[in-house]
Structure 1
């Protein structure tokens, strides 16, 4: 019921609901929203994303063994990005982990919530002290994006989290409600993510709106995530690619020991076996995803996402490593494109400490 009231409020503020009714596609201010996220502060409702919870004595060990990052090293109040992969090292989802005294909460992509519940459940054995719960319906998720996000936290008396590492989080009060606020936006843009009990979603939303943030819909988020280079399931993150190809090196611990798919990831790093890499692509105008990319007459890759910018088009694409990288001029559906680095991705091999 509270989410219905939130949606009604958002629609009154100019929100256009998606056909499936799960999110606001636009507030009719996409250009202003994009500018706010880059130079001011914007507010994005991520309540359609998934939030999974792990409890029990073995929760850290279990998630440590399921994903690429070093979950065992995290203390309460810390967090990180991590990748779920299968036994052959192919990507399932990019998730954000928040560790508390009582549980671990995992923020997952909207279309991976049910899949990952089933995926993890199959690896919980009778002796494991792990309780897995989908708490998505009990919580709303809002993200503040932009360089002026700190000002909002100062107004809300949450300034103790300012300046902390990405993934850090604490419990604070907004609109007389206890919420969890974490450092990071999921886009390598400055900002904070809030996890809110769903029955308090509307008053917390209104509190943010009263601080004069610019409201962002899904259109702006999608545009930003392509510009920043965040890969998503069914586009860049599929079982055709591994997280090294996807540029997610920062989410991988090469010293943590065994986990699902670890042997494949370690071998690719040791023998420098990454055959293709994800890059940004500057274009004169947008083209459809799945368009092939050529170097002269040779196919060298495929475009996975694309958006329109004020100067043309911008996409994400997997390109064969041997063909080249940043600065490479390629042909995409009759036009010339240029491969560029994007903030979210890295492509440096890990060098073990001697």
Structure 2
């Protein structure tokens, strides 16, 4: 690792657990502690925790901040009330995805959690479009953000909280006290499992990490985070989408409220919707031995029809899965294709997304 990589406030905790580290953007982050497979299964079957303090954490407030955001995202925020959250995207004028974010609505503010690698870009984007009376407080360096995920997540956390988290519904958030200290908790995550994300100060974050370890929670790194999110077909910014990708291509049209007359990128998206897209995101299940990796070509017979963006051997399903872009005429579910894995063409079929849904 180089000395230029940033570290979260919990870095010494990860060292004490003999974590294996990896560069992730500008950060030195835990890749795994035990094994990716064990950490993955811990989240699917019980409960695991991730240090996600590297993510950008902005608090937007000021007169008219809710109305100002309405024209900055394609999603209708007008029906959201304090305590609710919404996944959406920031777009450029060409309709390309600047970043995918979650907005958490408060009475007089909006909390915005953004990807670590795009935090500086997102800050500049927000400052460019928000009116001067809207202030942006960057909490990225001063707060610890933990994701506690899995079917036993809230039950494990409840003994540490002043009030039970069980009544908190998905995509809801509220202030609580954890270990007697102020905390903010949201029922959101990036694993396809039940769970919460917790924002606290650095000292409380270290105490909470230790308390969760003592409660039997499995520490998990970026390796398991990637296999979990891919099973749930959650996109990774910079890999499955970027500024050259539109929501229509990425299967995110459900984020667009076409009744909104004005939002950044609307004209370009309207034109693309009318003219049609040139590529479309699909889920692939490989039928033979081999794992599809980023940029592996996708074929129909001898014709190259697309590229893989993410791929792994699914620990839960036991077979290789992938996301990729293909020409729209090859995107129908059931379409048989192949993925070139090194010097072999491995049979694959287009399947519905997500690959995995948690039991209800």
Say whether 1:277 aligns with 2:280: yes
1:320 match = 327
Q: Deviations over 1:196-228 (max 9, x none)?
A: 122321012122222211111011001112221
1:145/1:4 CA distance change after superposition, 3 Å = closer
Instruction: Look up the SS of the partner of 2:258 in the other structure.
Output: coil
TM-aligned CA distance change 1:60 to 1:292, over 3 Å: same
Equivalence for 2:222: 218
- Contact 1:172–1:179 (Cα < 8 Å) also in 2: yes
**Which residue of 2 is the match for residue 330 of structure 1?**
337
Conserved? CA contact 1:188–1:344, under 8 Å: no
- Other-structure match for 1:291: 296
Structure 2 CA distance for partners of 1:5 and 1:115, relative to 1, 3 Å:
closer
| Separation (CA, whole Å) in 1 of partners of 2:164 and 2:252 | 29
Contact 1:187 1:344 in 2 (8 A): no
Cα deviation 1:15-55 (Å, max 9, x = unaligned): 22324653211112321211111121111111111112211
Bigger Cα displacement from structure 2, 239-248 vs 250-259: 250-259
Match of residue 350 from structure 1: none
Moved more, 80-89 or 13-22: 13-22
Change (3 A) 1:183 1:249: farther
Are 2:128 and 1:122 equivalent residues in the alignment? yes
Spell out structure 1 runs of 4+ moving beyond 6 A. none
Q: How does 1:234-253 map to 2 (within 5 A)?
A: 234-253=238-257
Q: In structure 2, list runs of 5 or more residues that go unmatched.
A: 1-6
Which of residues 205, 209, 225 is equivalent to 2:209? 205
Distance between the aligned counterparts of 2:191 and 2:247, measured in 1? 17
Separation of aligned partners in 2, 1:40 and 1:249? 33
The 8 Å contact of residues 10 and 51 in structure 2, kept in 1 or not, is answered as no
CA–CA separation in structure 2 for the residues paired with 1:5 and 1:112:
20
CA contact (8 A) 1:53 1:106 kept: yes
Uncovered stretches (5+) of structure 1, i.e. residues with no partner: 346-354
1:343–1:9 distance in 2 versus 1, CA, 3 Å: same
- Helix, strand or coil for the counterpart of 2:176? strand
Per-residue deviation, 1:321: 1.6
Q: Does 1:51 align with 2:57?
A: yes
1:164 CA displacement: 4.1
Q: Are the aligned partners of 1:170 and 1:182 in contact in 2 as well (CA < 8 Å)?
A: yes
Aligned to 2:69: 63
Match of 1:307 in 2: 312
SS in 2 for 1:137: coil
**Counterparts in 2 of 1:34-45, with a 5 A limit?**
34-45=40-51
**Contact kept? 2:293, 2:312, Cα under 8 Å:** no
Q: Does 1:132 align with 2:139?
A: no
Structure 1 counterpart of 2:3: none
Q: Using the alignment, how far apart are the partners of 1:154 and 1:89 within structure 2?
A: 42
Task: Write the distance in 2 (CA, Å) between the matches of 1:251 and 1:161.
Answer: 28
Matches within 5 A, 1:33-182: 33-125=39-131, 128-157=132-161, 160-182=164-186
CA–CA distance in structure 2, aligned partners of residues 15 and 243 of structure 1: 36
CA distance change for structure 1 residues 235 and 5 in 2, over 3 Å: closer, same or farther? closer
Distance 2:355 2:261 in 1: 25
Query: TM-score, normalization: structure 1?
Result: 0.88
* CA RMSD between the two structures: 2.3
Shift of residue 57 of structure 1? 0.9
